């Protein structure tokens, strides 16, 4: 079920429209959406949390006990060196930078092994949604806290092609500042020739995805419950919508016509 939230702070009004959804009438601010920026793992890519399981394994091998839930709570959506640093700061404070670096390097080694036999699939409805957006002339950009090499491995396993399945890929290694800073979304806009961030919808499965979208001034931010964070966790970041599946994105667009 699609839950609707509207936060007046930092929102640019286009015009108002009263609508009814799931029996609830509300005032909604119409946005002209030209670009949707999708987080990858947990949003449009199902890789069974292998990256975060690998982060957990690398940290555990260093003698620091953390659970997968703790890794997801603190590290989801972040560039992975930063995720490790933030997890250690919370659960094993006082670690020297050298120890953090060794854990990250071990993570990279373990991830390469894990990816050799990894079964990666699209999230349910992802490819259908991409095709629908193409018909609606809405740009599709994938963005991720992974580096470009890791992201390209996932895309290759899915047999997705830039220019066909999606328009552009923006990764943590393509910008100076990663989530929650807006740099990846601003870079995505530049690639698509857009200057108005109110025409952008950002969707992701973690709090930091929503924060990234808000920091970029996106017209709409959407949390999705198919990945790292729960509905309650996502709602704590006050996105405009929280949804349970990608098919609900079309419902949002139908309330927010494309330009």
Predicted confidence pLDDT, tens digits, the chain (259 residues)? 444 444 433 333 333 333 334 443 343 445 689 999 999 999 999 988 888 899 999 999 999 999 999 999 888 878 888 899 999 999 999 888 899 999 999 998 998 888 878 889 999 999 999 999 999 999 999 999 888 988 998 899 999 999 999 999 999 999 999 899 999 999 999 999 999 999 999 999 999 999 999 999 999 999 999 998 999 999 999 999 999 999 999 999 988 655 5
Same domain, 215 and 238: yes
- What residues make up the domain containing 139? 3-46+121-255
Same domain, 233 and 188: yes
User: Where is the domain boundary, 96, 116, 136?
Assistant: 116
User: In this structure, what CATH number is given to the domain that contains residue 173?
Assistant: 3.40.50.1000
Same domain, 39 and 148: yes
Same domain, 72 and 152: no
Same domain, 89 and 191: no
SS3 letters across the chain: CCEECCCCCCCCCCEEEEEEECCEEEEEEECCECEEEEECECCCEECCCHHHHHHHHHHHHCCCCCCHHHHHHHHCCCCHHHHHHHHHHHHCCCCCHHHHHHHHHHHHHHHHHHHHCCCCEECCCHHHHHHHHHHCCCEEEEEECCCHHHHHHHHHHHCCCECCCECEEEEHHHCCCCCCCCHHHHHHHHHHCCCCHHHEEEEECCHHHHHHHHHCCCCEEEEECCCCCCHHHHHCCCCCEEECCCCHHHHHHHHCCEC
User: Where is the domain boundary, 101, 116, 131?
Assistant: 116
How many domains does the structure of the chain reveal?
Answer: 2
Same domain, 125 and 155: yes
Same domain, 102 and 125: no
Same domain, 239 and 126: yes
Same domain, 143 and 186: yes
Same domain, 174 and 246: yes
């Amino acid at each position: 079920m699609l839950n609707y939230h509207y936060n007046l702070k930092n929102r640019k009004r286009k015009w108002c429209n009263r609508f009814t959804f799931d029996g609830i009438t509300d005032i909604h601010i119409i946005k002209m959406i030209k670009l949707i920026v999708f987080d990858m793992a947990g949003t449009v890519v199902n890789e069974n949390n292998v990256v975060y399981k690998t982060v957990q394994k690398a940290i555990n091998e260093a003698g620091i006990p953390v659970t997968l839930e703790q890794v997801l709570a603190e590290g989801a959506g972040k560039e992975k060196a930063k995720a490790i640093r933030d997890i250690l700061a919370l659960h094993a404070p006082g670690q020297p930078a050298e120890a953090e670096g060794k854990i990250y390097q071990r993570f990279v080694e373990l991830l390469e092994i894990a990816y050799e036999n990894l079964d990666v699939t699209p999230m349910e409805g992802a490819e259908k949604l991409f095709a629908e957006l193409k018909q609606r002339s809405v740009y599709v950009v994938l963005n991720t806290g992974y580096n470009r090499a890791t992201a390209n491995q996932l895309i290759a396993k899915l047999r997705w092609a830039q220019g066909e399945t999606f328009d552009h890929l923006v990764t943590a290694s393509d910008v100076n500042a990663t989530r929650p800073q807006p740099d990846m979304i601003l870079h995505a806009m530049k690639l698509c020739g857009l200057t108005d961030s109110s025409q952008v919808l950002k969707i992701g499965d973690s709090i930091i995805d929503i924060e990234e979208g808000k920091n970029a001034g996106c017209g709409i931010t959407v949390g999705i419950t198919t990945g790292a964070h729960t509905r309650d966790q996502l709602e704590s970041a006050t996105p405009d919508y929280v949804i349970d599946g990608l098919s609900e994105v079309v419902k949002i667009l139908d309330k927010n016509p494309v330009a």
